[in-house]
């Protein structure tokens, strides 16, 4: 089983306009509402790919109940700590002329110490039953900056391999607990090791620095350019399939899920890189906040080109 932890989920509302006109009236063409949050997204993709998964995290109010309903409708087990405040709503404005989306993200509800401890207890319960735990996303207001470090340490001590996918100080401090795998994107890597990623060689150098901190598997996603993975066995770069992207929302979370799915089946690193790249690309082909479908991932697998560096 692969568990996921989402401390700051959201209801994702995506509105479509012909052409976004700032400081003017915009007519909405279409609206999509979906469950959001990096860990929850990963659980949805894991379920679609055929892995058993359980989603843990904070939920609150009617918004939280709707998110739980969506996840359970997808066949995902949910074990949430319900908070005193409503789960946030994130708004994506998708310009159908082809420009990148504009996103408006709420900070999220403030989390109490009691709510954090309740979530830690749930993570402790599932960690020993999980081959992997994906801990992903931002921290909600009120959560100490070392929250991910504590969660990673707890899960590792229970025998689970941890995949950490976050940003900034929570990510930097979380890495001190040596998670099994991290998946920063190009910009996040720059903030972690102060390297401007412009080439595969830059990414490889950054991965070496991150590996020196005791992290076994480093995946650096570089958008349409591809992704690099560094392990003790070597370093590889994957060129993604040639697709027409529609929306990149959730692509990084899908890549994490593709990796976790493949690794949990005992597949080698190169195959995991292919699964992650194919899942990320397949999600980029969907509208708004939609996720990939298994048949799309399978169709794209053989189109991922991998080379050893």
**Residue-wise pLDDT tens digits, 114-167:** 999 999 999 999 998 999 999 999 999 999 999 999 999 999 999 999 999 999
Instruction: Report which of 263, 258, 256 is spatially closest to residue 278, judged by C-alpha positions.
Output: 258
pLDDT tens-digit map of 285-295? 887 677 889 99
CA angle, corner 106, sides to 104 and 109, nearest 5? 170
What is the CA angle 79-42-282, rounded to 5?
150
Residue bearing tokens 């932890």: 5
CA dist., res. 121 & res. 78, Å (int): 15
Element (H, E) at 11: strand 10-17
* Percent of the chain predicted with pLDDT > 90: 80
Domain residues of the chain, as ranges? 2-308
Angle, helix 269-284 to helix 251-264, in steps of 10 degrees: 150
Tokens matching residue 131: 């081959």
Residue 244 has pLDDT above 90, yes or no: no
pTM of the model: 0.92
Strands 2-6 and 132-136, how do they pair?
parallel
What confidence score (pLDDT) does residue 208 get? 93
CATH architecture designation of domain 2-308: 3-Layer(aba) Sandwich (3.40)
Torsion of CA 195, 198, 200, 201, to 10 degrees: -50
The distance from CA 145 to its chain's CA centroid, rounded to whole angstroms, is 19
How far is residue 224's CA from residue 233's CA, in Å, rounded to a whole number? 25
**Interval 167-211: pLDDT, tens:** 999 999 999 999 999 999 999 998 899 888 888 999 999 999 999
Each residue's pLDDT tens digit, 160-175: 999 999 999 999 999 9
Query: Which residues belong to the active site?
Result: 253
């Amino acid at each position: 089983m692969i568990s996921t932890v989402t401390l700051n989920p959201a209801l994702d509302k995506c509105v479509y306009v012909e052409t976004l006109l700032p400081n003017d009236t915009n007519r909405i063409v279409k609206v999509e509402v979906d469950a959001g949050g990096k860990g929850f997204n990963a659980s949805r993709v894991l379920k679609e790919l055929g892995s058993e998964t359980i989603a843990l995290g904070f939920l609150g109010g009617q918004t939280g109940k709707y998110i739980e309903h969506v996840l359970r409708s997808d066949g995902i087990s949910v074990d949430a700590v319900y908070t005193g405040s409503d789960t946030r709503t994130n708004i994506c404005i998708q310009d159908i002329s082809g420009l990148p989306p504009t996103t408006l993200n709420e900070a999220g509800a403030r989390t109490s110490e009691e709510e954090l401890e309740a979530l830690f207890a749930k993570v402790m319960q599932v960690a020993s039953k999980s081959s992997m735990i994906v801990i992903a996303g931002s921290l909600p207001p009120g959560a100490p900056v070392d929250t991910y470090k504590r969660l990673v340490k707890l899960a590792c001590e229970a025998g689970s391999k941890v995949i950490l996918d976050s940003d900034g100080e929570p990510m930097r401090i979380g890495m001190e607990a040596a998670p099994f795998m991290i998946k920063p994107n190009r910009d996040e890597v720059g903030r972690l090791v102060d390297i401007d990623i412009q080439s595969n060689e830059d990414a490889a150098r950054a991965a070496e620095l991150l590996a020196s901190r005791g992290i076994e598997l480093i995946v650096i996603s570089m958008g349409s350019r591809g992704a690099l993975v560094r392990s003790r066995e070597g370093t590889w770069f994957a060129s993604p399939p040639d697709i027409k992207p529609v929306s990149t929302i959730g692509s990084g979370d899908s890549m994490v899920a593709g990796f976790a799915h493949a690794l949990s089946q005992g597949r080698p690193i190169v195959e995991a890189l292919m699964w992650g790249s194919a899942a990320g690309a397949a999600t980029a082909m969907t509208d708004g906040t939609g996720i990939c479908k298994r048949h799309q991932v399978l169709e794209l697998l053989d189109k991922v080109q991998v080379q050893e560096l």
